[in-house]
Structures are given as structure tokens and as C-alpha cells.
């Protein structure tokens, strides 16, 4: 299971981190992933999961200079950095 999770995090396919049982397919909860992944892997998973969540929000834009997530308020968006 560690290898399975590690490979998906390394490849960036965090949406596929589900229960490997074909009759279940529930997503793996963060506490389970924390135990299965090394510190770097868990940090990468958190980053990828956050990015995926932000990408689904229509009012989030990314700064073209530093790639930070910003809340867009119409045409007025200000980078926090």
C-alpha cells in the first residue's frame, strides 16, 4: 500500500488514491496517507490536493509571476506576495 500511494503521489495522480478494493473505491483519508507516505510524499500530496481543490474554484486566479493562488474579485486581483 505504501508503494501504491507513493507512486500516485510521485506521478501527481492524487485523484487515484482510493481504496484498492474494487468493491470499495473510497478515497484514502489524510491520517492514513500520513502513515503510509514519507514526510516529503505527504507534503507533496497536500500540495497537489490543495492545488486540485483551488482549480475547481472559479474565483481563484494564479499570479503570473510567483504562481501564488489569489482570490479574484472581478478584474481586481492582488497577489498576496
**Which CATH number characterizes residue 49's domain?**
3.30.40.10
Instruction: State yes or no: pLDDT of 69 exceeds 80.
Output: yes
Residue 44 — very low, low, confident or very high, per pLDDT cuts 50/70/90? Answer: very high
Q: Is the residue at 67 inside a domain?
A: yes
- Measuring CA to CA, which residue among 21, 39, 18, 37 is closest to residue 29? 18
Q: Is the residue at 81 inside a domain?
A: no
Q: Is the residue at 76 inside a domain?
A: no
Q: How many domains does the chain have?
A: 1
Q: Is the residue at 77 inside a domain?
A: no
Cα gap 4→81, rounded to integer Å? 36
Instruction: State yes or no: pLDDT of 43 exceeds 90.
Output: yes
Give the per-residue pLDDT at 34.
Answer: 92
- Measuring CA to CA, which residue among 69, 50, 68 is closest to residue 60? 69
Cα gap 22→24, rounded to integer Å? 6
Cα gap 57→33, rounded to integer Å? 24
Domain extent, residue 39, equals 2-71
Q: Is the residue at 11 inside a domain?
A: yes
Instruction: State yes or no: pLDDT of 74 exceeds 80.
Output: no
Cα gap 14→49, rounded to integer Å? 7
Task: Read off the pTM.
Answer: 0.73
Q: Is the residue at 32 inside a domain?
A: yes
Q: Is the residue at 53 inside a domain?
A: yes
Amino acid at each position: 500500500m505504501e508503494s501504491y500511494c507513493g507512486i500516485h503521489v510521485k506521478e501527481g495522480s492524487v485523484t487515484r488514491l482510493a481504496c484498492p478494493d474494487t468493491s470499495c473505491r473510497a478515497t484514502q483519508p489524510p491520517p492514513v496517507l500520513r502513515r503510509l507516505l514519507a514526510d516529503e510524499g505527504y507534503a507533496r500530496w497536500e500540495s497537489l490536493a490543495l492545488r486540485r481543490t483551488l482549480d475547481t474554484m472559479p474565483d481563484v486566479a494564479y499570479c503570473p509571476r510567483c504562481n501564488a493562488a489569489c482570490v479574484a474579485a472581478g478584474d481586481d486581483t492582488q497577489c498576496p506576495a
